[in-house]
Amino acid sequence: MKIKSQRDFWSGLMFIVVGIGFAWGATNYSFGNSARPGPGYFPFGLGIILAILGAVVLFKALTVEVEGGDKVGAFAWRPLLIILASIALFGVLLPWLGMAIALPILVFTSSAAGDEFHWRDALINSAILTVGSWAIFIKGLSLTIPLWPTFMQTAAQ
Amino acid sequence: MDLLNNLALGFGVAFTLQNLLYAFGGAVLGTLIGVLPGLGPVATIAMLLPSIYALDATPALIMLAGIYYGAQYGGSTTAILINVPGESSSVVTALDGYKMARKGRAGAALAAAGLGSFFAGCVGTVIIAAFAPPLTELAFKFGPAEYFSLMVLGLIGAVVLASGSLIKAISMIILGLLLGQINTDVISGVPRYSFDIPELTDGIGFVAIAMGVFGFGEIIANLGQPAEHREVFTKDVKGLWPTKQDFKFAWPAVLRGTALGSLLGVLPGGGALLASFAAYTVEKKSPMKPGEVPFGQGNIRGVAGPESANNAGAQTSFIPMLTLGIPPNAVMALMVGAMTIKGIQPGPQVMTSNPQLFWGLIASMWVGNAMLVILNLPLIGIWIKLLTVPYRFLFPAILCFCCIGLYTLNNNNFDVFTGVLFGLIGYIFYKLSCEAAPLLLGFILGPMMEENLRRALLLSRGDWSTFVTRPLSAGLLLAALAMIVVVSLPAIKNKREEAFQDAD
């Protein structure tokens, strides 16, 4: 058995796994009957349908010839990891350090994900975006975002 | 004259200084972000959602509508000037628009797009005002079975017109529906798929999905591609006003485009997309006047027609959302999400329970369109400057907006982490060429669909045939089935694939 379309093969597999996962999870909730459907009724049915559709996609990926094998191609690991890690870091830091510190860190670290990285540009960008975000979100839209680190707030009070 | 009274009420709301400012602000922000290459309306609206958190429902929706139009206009500008359409519906604009720009006629192309869209927007607004009330009446006759079937039709329609593999698109819808099941069951109160995480009992925030998939996922995908060099025709934008001859050529195209767009926009799915493609084909087929430039080489009709159709379609696609509460495309799904954040359950009752909001929104559509003409034509120089900003400055800015938006959604970093997860998922979708727009649509409709299915079954005492024995419901399901069958017919299938290949 040869895979004819890589992308469809993995998509099909993903749909099957997720579909079965949801259907299996639905068995924890009362299924009810069709006259009185319980909380597990709809997700169970959907999960099964998704798994079936996934199987069709998978079957086609193994049988229908596609030009060039429809390769998934290399993952862009560098941007993927750097971007996601910098966002997650922002999520961790913001409640502790406030926007004034967490946001420049976000801009600076994420800038490293691009092909071209210049220290000076990243620093300037951090400064502009932090001041801009403060002006737009805190001053302009009066959203509640911690601005300064928690230890400085208690010291100020 | 109900129509006039209603419109008067609407304009009364829209013309307050506060709401005018919000419409203006939305249009500016939408253009500002929408003009950036590679950012379509869905990403733009998702990014700008935080700007409405602190507002009341009416100004919030008015601002969002402004953002939407701004994003659309911005997308056309990018298509004309640098041949990078931000969304699929401005693909055809790029064909002739970019050629015009290369010949130094960018100004005329932009003006044709702007004025054509404005005209289409005016017509679209009147159509909404005229057709919304009778459709709402009809919607009140719908029982749960009809609603369920209508949603099936809407979801199928959305993917039939979308590009790519039909079966994968349907799978993505179901995946979206399943993600919508992560919540507390409304009927029994049982938390589902929450894994004892308290935040999950309220469901995944749609903002986290939208920003993760359309914001973070896109950025990663863009960064993964080698940087390309784009030619921007910044210096050539002179002579903004089209010539007399341009007007003569363009206005019939605008009329045809508007008519096509208004009609097709109501359809579920890529109404605006289909409309702009259809308009371009119509223009290409209609006879040439002496002295016209051939199509594909910078014909002004090739810009005016699709752009009018696109905007008319964008306008009338509000109809199913406003009257039935059913979003016909991903942008409207975001609107529905925004309404829910503001505590308004979209559906036929909005018109009677919140007439101020309903008619105010409709009137603001016109106001927003007028502002865009004022904004875009004289200020085009500023937008062009934006196009020259390198991506390495842009993507951190997009990240900032999204991160702050995610955090301030519930003042909680949980949504930021959910966004990270969906960024990863979005990148995987991109790699596997699974389209994410149907997923968002399914996610928004999931809870509504389940509730109606279960209520319909309760009413029929468990008899599934209720969906096919009730004539209205049967008709809707039949239409959905017919769509799948038609698209799967070999002849049409090939045509469809061809059309999308052209679009790429």
What does the domain layout of chain A look like in residue ranges? 6-70, 77-156
Rounded to whole angstroms, how far apart are CA atoms B301 and B380?
A: 21
pLDDT of residue B498: 60
What is the distance between the alpha carbons of residues B153 and A92, in angstroms, rounded to a whole number? 43
Higher pLDDT, A2 or B270: A2
Q: What is the mean pLDDT of each run of 10 residues along chain B (504 residues)?
A: 78 83 87 77 81 82 86 82 72 82 81 87 87 81 86 82 77 91 81 80 83 85 70 56 75 87 74 76 78 78 87 84 81 84 82 83 84 78 76 83 84 88 92 85 86 87 84 88 80 62 48
CA distances from B373 to B23, B70, B378, B399 (A): 13, 10, 8, 30
pLDDT in tens, A74-113: 788 888 888 899 999 988 988 888 888 888 888 888 888 8
Verify whether the Cβ–Cβ distance A106 to B428 is below 8 Å.
no
Cα separation values, A100 from A128, A150, B147, B399, Å: 12, 12, 48, 16
Residue linked to tokens 């749909």: A15
Residues of chain B numbered 285-344 and touching chain A (CB < 8 Å):
none
User: Where along chain B do its domains lie?
Assistant: 2-147+206-411
pTM for the structure as a whole: 0.83
Confidence tier at A13 by pLDDT (50, 70, 90): very high
- d(CA B194, CA B191) in angstroms, rounded, equals 6
CB B2 within 8 A of CB B133: yes
Cβ–Cβ contact B484 with A under 8 A: no
Give the residue from chain B lying closest to A103, CA to CA: B400
Q: Do A42 and B454 touch (CB under 8 A)?
A: yes
Residue numbers in B near A42 (CB within 8 A) = 181, 450, 453-454
**CB contact (8 A) between residue B458 and residue A30:** no
Write down the pLDDT at residue B227: 61
Q: What pLDDT, on the 0 to 100 scale, is given for residue A55?
A: 93
* A99/B404 touch (CB, cutoff 8 Å), yes or no: yes
pLDDT at B38 (0 to 100):
66
pLDDT score, position A18: 93
Predicted local confidence at residue B269, as pLDDT: 59
| Res B504: pLDDT | 43
Residue B21: Cβ within 10 Å count = 13
Per-residue pLDDT, B201:
79
Q: Quote the pLDDT of residue A156.
A: 47
Tell me which chain B residues have a C-beta less than 8 angstroms from the C-beta of A92: 413
Q: Give the C-alpha separation, B47 to A14, whole Å.
A: 28
User: Which among B75, B35, B27, B72 has a CA at the least distance from the CA of B51?
Assistant: B27
Share of chain A above pLDDT 70, in %: 94
